[in-house]
Every structure is written in structure tokens, then in C-alpha cells.
């Protein structure tokens, strides 16, 4: 009796496309994935407004004074918004603007962040005295014992800048309106790029921060805008992953699986929604890897113009990655190895090249010097010269760029500080110590938290998948698996030689290739089983785990009891 195909099999038969190129159907699928993920990623990304005017305290005794009314009022707390340089302030109160009493010292720990300080006093005047020169304040707001806002009037001229944007004061303080984790370095520096100030973050090249600065320059300094470009880069990773999956494995199913893995990884979600530069780094690496593999797939008889196109794009994007973070060099090593191995088998190994092919080989080698050496160097140096005001000195010449690079190397090589969420390179795939980026408590029973934890169904399965890909490469020498394992090893193993403090987010550039290892393993399984049941089941499990861990990476306030169920290990923090 003839067996009928399952509904899954019938669907995938219609869905099937065994080409490496992206067609109309692929772009429709990509559009749907981007629309779904983009919608989720923009939910509560950050506030569209925050104070834009700041007062810079001119000395350690500089002061601002406010009046709350003709008679004294009972004030429970003061809410303060720190600017680019957070500071500490002695707070005094008075009823006559003559005799003042010190009530507390307010210590603001984060730039571009709101903080509350309890006062619980009755007074008519309040004075803030800066403890250090050069600190910035953007706005202050007083509250009575019932939590209602109390209007404060500026007594001296400098105080007026701190009560001119009352509508910008948030109802509650959270990541939505305040910078968190490394945003205090990168978002602050992007703001300083826009305003021509000396940039605080100087231990990485400028390109990522220049990209981050674009919406800040157009719309102003608010969380949504300094997180916008990183989130867009995170969204763009999905079509690039789809393209990588289909290009490598010549099947629409595996393009879809690759895109879905990036779409539903919790770490990717948390990291790309934060105002830092890592997302740009990884996107550029993925693009450079995609175009290099497209070049490798070309036959010798293909036009040299097409070869130059793919090599040029690969060189352009790896140059952008290095100008974002030096760790882009690790991916550059993988590209170089892949290129020369391909060159060896196409032009050297058991080949007798005619004069035309020899000339083409020389042209390709010369062109690669241009696009993989000269172009990245130009991008790197131009990123500095576009914004020369980088601490610790004005970088306005080639020699000053080299001096800055020496300073960066000295910083990273001599960094000995410890950190509670630091981890060693070999623990990253196991997610032993995720970085706890943010927590905000809502009473005693709820909290919102953002932790850099991945999807267990991706990260842990990826360990076994990587082993499969490694063995497959050694035994069968399949080009696709060799390419994947090369990028895994080159982007991850160099960290074993680094002695400075490191974090799990340093594994981010390896993550796309870990996902591709899973795609390769799934291809092997589905072809062996001759059905797509495991394929569909695995996607369902990935989505289930993403949903389960979503509150731990999104900042969404949920019950403490729920978050506690996610603490599977003592080194996990939510």
C-alpha cells in the first residue's frame, strides 16, 4: 500500500529550493522574519525623551539653589538626572536662604541616568553643592510624602537649567530612561562625538560609536536613540544569517533555520538592544564571511569582475569590524586562511595554469592587498580623523593614531581589575557566567532584569554541533563545514592567550558560526531520516526556550518567583 506524505513533508516539498541564491520567496520569508523580530525588539527599547540641557559645575564649590515656596514643605526625596560626567553633591536645606543644614551627600554612579535620594525633611530652600569640578546635571525633581511632584523654582541663574524640562522627568526609574552597564561608556562617547567633546571611551576604535552617534545627532540624547543603531544591526543579522545558511547549504530550509536561530537567541536579543558596539562588530564579521564564501564558490572560469566584487565587499566589511573592535582581526585571520586554502586548490594543487590564469592569479593577489590591507587601514584611520577629540589626546594625524593604538594596547594588556561576572574563554559555550546587565526592583515581589544569557537550546546544542562539524571536516573534508569550524576556532581560541579580565559577551562573534554548525548538523539528520520532523521539533523547542527566558533578557517586570525558576545554576543571576 502506497504511503502518503505527512503534511510537513508536503509543505517542505513546495517550500524546497536547492539553490544558493536568494529568490523572491526567500526575500518574502526574510521580510516576515524581520517584521516579527523587529516588532519584538522595538517593544520597550527605551524612552524617546530625556533632558537635553545640562549645567556643568565650574568648581568643587559651585552651587545651585532652589525655592519650593514661601512656606516650608515636607519633601521625601529628590530625583536627579546625571549628564555626561556624573558627580557627587552635598545637599543642604534652609528655611531662610541664609542658614543651611547639610542633610546628605548624593553620589551619582552612572552617566545619563536618573537617581533618587531620600531627604524626608521640611524646608523652603534646597542647595546642591558640587564636590568636584566638571560634573553635569540635567534636571532635578522634588517629591512630597505622598509621591506627588513639588515644583522647585531656580534661585540663582545656574539652577534654571535644572528645572527647565519638567516633562522629561519619568514616573519611575528603569533601563527605559537611564543608561545601564557599558552604555555609560559607549553611549556617552557617542554623545561626546556629536558635541565635539573629548570622548571618554577610547580603548576601542571609533567606528562603532560614530554609527551609534547618528540618531543622537538627529534626535537628541535619549535611550531609544543611543540604542537604535545597535538594534537595527541586530535586526540585520537575521537576513545575513538566512543568506549564510542558504549559501552554505544550498537549501531554503537551512537558510530559514539559520535566520530563526539568530532571531530566537536570547543573548543576541539582549546584546543588540543595549547601547554598545558589539552588534556592529558581529554584523560586519558575518557580512565579510558571507562574501568571502560567495567568492570561494566561484569557479575559475567566472569573470574576474565578480570575483573582485565579492572580495571587495568582504574586505570592506572586515575593515569595518576592525575599526569597531580589534577583535575583528580574529575573523580576518579566518578569512585569510580560507582565501589562501581556496587559492591553493584552485591555482596550485595539481594544476597547470596557462598564462591567462597566472595573470589572473597575480591580479587577485594584488587586489587582495588593496581590499584586505589598504582599505581596512584607510577605514581605521579615517574613523579617527572624522572625530579627533579622543581621550587622552587630540588624534588629528597619522602619528597620533599610532600613539593612540599604543595606548589602547597598553590598556588591554595591563588590565588586571577583577569583575564579579568575568569568566574564562572555555566556559562561554556552557553559559557558566552570564553578565548581569541590569536589574530594577518593583516592590518586594517583582523585578525587571536584563542578563546576557543565551538560549540553552542553541548554545548547548551548538557545542555538540561544533564537534560534529569538526569531525566531519577532518573525515569528509566538506568545504562548508571546514569554513564554519575555521571561524569558530579563529574567533574563539585566541582568547586562551589573553590574560586580562574577559566576559561571556566576547563569545558573540563566534555565536553565528555556532548556529551554522547546528544548521549543518540538522542538514545531516534530516537527510539521514528523510523527513523534517526533527527539524520542526527543534525549531519549536528553540522558540519555547526563547519565550521562557524572554523576561530575563528584556527588562520586562515579572514576579520574582518566575525569575527564580530560571536560575538553574548558582552562577546565573537575574
| Domain regions of the chain by residue span | 63-168, 197-565
CATH number of 63-168: 2.60.120.260
Which pLDDT score is estimated for 1? 45
Residues 321, 323, 325, 331, Cα dihedral to 10° = 40
d(CA 534, CA 544): 15
- Could you tell me if 91 and 131 are in contact, meaning their C-beta atoms sit under 8 angstroms apart? no
- pLDDT tens digits for 428-464? 999 999 999 999 998 889 999 999 999 999 999 999 9
Residue 245's pLDDT band, with cuts at 50, 70 and 90, is very high
- Residue 476: C-alpha distances to residues 230, 468, 473, 482, 530 (Å): 39, 11, 6, 10, 21
Number of C-beta neighbours around residue 353 at 10 A? 14
Predicted pLDDT at 96 = 93
Looking at the predicted structure, is the pLDDT value of residue 397 above 70? yes
Residue 574 Cα to chain centre, angstroms: 19
Strand partners for 551? none
CA dist 143 and 154 (Å) reads 16
Return the pLDDT at 392: 77
**Mean pLDDT of all residues in 341-346:** 90
pLDDT of residue 382: 94
Of 574, 564, 572, 540, residue with least CA distance to 264: 540
Q: Residue holding cell 554609527?
A: 211
- The pTM for the full model equals 0.94
pLDDT tens readout for residues 104-131: 999 998 999 999 999 999 999 999 999 9
Mean pLDDT for 488-503 is 92
Angle subtended by helix axes 304-322 and 328-343, to nearest 10: 160
Q: Helices marked H in 250-345 — which ranges?
A: 252-263, 266-272, 278-297, 304-322, 328-343
pLDDT in tens, 281-319: 999 999 999 999 999 999 888 899 999 999 999 999 999
Beta carbons within 10 angstroms of residue 309's beta carbon = 15
| Cα distance between residue 428 and residue 148, in whole Å | 47
Name 329's bridge partners: none
Alpha-carbon span 272 to 192, nearest angstrom:
21
Strands 101-107 and 63-67: unpaired
Average pLDDT over residues 368-378: 96
DSSP class of residue 5? P
- Asked if residue 3 has pLDDT above 60, the reply is no
Q: What confidence tens digit (pLDDT) does each residue in 158-181 have?
A: 999 999 999 999 999 999 999 999
* Strand pairing category for 558-559 and 446-451: antiparallel
Amino acid at each position: 500500500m502506497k504511503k502518503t506524505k505527512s503534511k510537513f513533508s508536503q509543505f517542505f516539498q513546495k517550500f524546497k529550493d536547492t539553490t544558493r541564491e536568494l529568490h523572491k520567496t526567500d526575500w518574502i520569508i526574510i521580510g516576515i522574519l524581520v517584521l516579527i523580530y523587529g516588532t519584538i525588539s522595538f517593544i520597550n527599547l527605551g524612552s524617546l525623551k530625556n533632558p537635553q540641557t545640562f549645567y556643568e559645575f565650574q568648581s568643587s564649590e559651585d552651587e545651585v539653589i532652589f525655592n519650593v515656596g514661601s512656606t516650608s514643605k515636607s519633601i521625601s526625596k529628590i530625583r536627579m538626572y546625571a549628564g555626561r560626567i556624573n558627580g557627587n553633591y552635598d545637599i543642604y536645606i534652609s528655611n531662610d536662604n541664609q542658614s543651611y543644614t547639610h542633610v546628605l551627600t548624593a553620589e551619582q554612579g552612572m552617566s545619563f541616568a536618573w537617581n533618587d535620594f531620600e531627604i524626608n525633611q521640611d524646608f523652603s530652600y534646597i542647595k546642591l553643592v558640587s564636590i568636584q569640578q566638571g560634573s553635569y546635571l540635567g534636571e532635578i525633581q522634588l517629591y512630597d510624602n505622598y509621591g506627588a511632584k513639588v515644583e522647585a523654582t531656580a534661585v540663582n541663574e545656574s539652577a534654571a537649567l535644572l528645572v527647565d524640562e519638567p516633562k522629561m522627568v519619568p514616573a519611575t526609574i528603569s533601563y527605559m530612561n537611564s543608561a545601564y552597564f557599558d552604555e555609560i561608556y559607549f553611549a556617552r562617547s557617542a554623545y561626546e562625538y556629536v558635541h565635539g567633546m573629548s570622548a571618554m571611551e577610547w580603548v576601542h576604535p571609533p567606528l562603532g560609536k560614530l554609527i551609534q552617534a547618528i540618531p543622537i545627532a538627529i534626535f537628541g540624547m535619549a535611550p531609544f536613540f543611543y540604542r537604535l543603531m545597535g538594534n537595527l544591526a541586530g535586526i540585520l543579522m537575521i537576513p545575513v544569517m538566512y543568506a549564510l545558511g542558504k549559501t552554505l547549504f544550498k537549501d531554503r530550509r537551512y537558510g530559514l533555520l539559520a535566520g530563526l536561530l539568530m532571531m530566537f537567541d536570547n543573548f543576541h536579543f539582549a546584546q543588540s538592544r543595549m547601547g554598545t558596539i558589539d552588534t556592529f562588530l558581529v554584523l560586519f564579521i558575518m557580512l565579510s564571511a558571507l562574501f568571502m564564501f560567495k567568492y570561494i564558490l566561484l569557479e575559475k572560469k567566472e569573470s574576474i569582475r565578480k570575483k573582485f566584487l565579492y572580495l571587495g565587499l568582504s574586505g570592506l566589511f572586515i575593515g569595518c569590524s576592525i575599526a569597531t573592535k580589534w577583535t575583528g582581526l580574529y575573523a580576518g585571520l579566518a578569512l585569510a586562511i580560507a582565501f589562501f586554502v581556496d587559492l591553493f586548490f584552485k591555482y596550485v594543487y595539481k594544476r597547470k595554469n596557462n598564462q591567462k590564469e597566472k595573470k589572473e592569479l597575480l591580479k587577485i593577489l594584488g587586489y587582495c592587498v588593496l581590499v584586505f590591507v589598504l582599505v581596512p587601514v584607510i577605514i581605521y584611520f579615517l574613523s579617527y580623523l572624522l572625530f579627533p577629540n579622543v581621550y587622552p589626546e587630540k588624534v588629528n594625524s597619522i602619528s597620533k593614531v599610532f600613539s593612540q593604538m599604543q595606548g589602547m594596547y597598553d590598556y588591554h594588556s595591563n588590565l588586571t581589575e577583577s569583575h564579579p561576572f568575568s569568566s574564562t574563554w572555555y566556559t562561554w559555550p556552557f553559559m557558566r557566567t552570564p553578565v548581569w546587565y541590569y536589574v530594577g526592583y518593583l516592590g518586594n515581589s517583582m523585578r525587571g532584569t536584563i542578563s546576557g544569557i543565551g538560549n540553552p537550546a542553541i548554545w548547548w546544542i551548538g557545542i555538540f554541533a561544533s564537534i560534529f562539524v569538526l569531525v566531519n571536516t577532518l573525515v569528509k573534508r566538506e568545504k562548508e563545514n571546514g569554513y564554519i569550524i575555521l571561524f569558530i576556532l579563529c574567533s574563539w581560541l585566541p582568547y586562551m592567550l589573553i590574560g586580562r579580565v574577559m566576559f561571556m559577551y566576547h563569545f558573540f562573534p563566534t555565536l553565528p558560526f555556532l548556529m551554522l554548525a547546528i544548521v549543518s548538523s540538522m542538514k545531516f539528520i534530516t537527510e539521514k531520516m528523510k523527513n523534517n520532523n526533527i527539524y520542526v521539533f527543534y525549531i519549536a523547542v528553540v522558540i519555547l526556550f526563547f519565550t521562557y527566558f524572554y523576561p530575563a533578557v528584556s527588562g520586562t517586570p515579572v514576579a520574582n518567583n518566575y525569575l527564580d525558576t530560571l536560575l538553574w545554576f548558582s552562577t546565573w543571576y537575574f
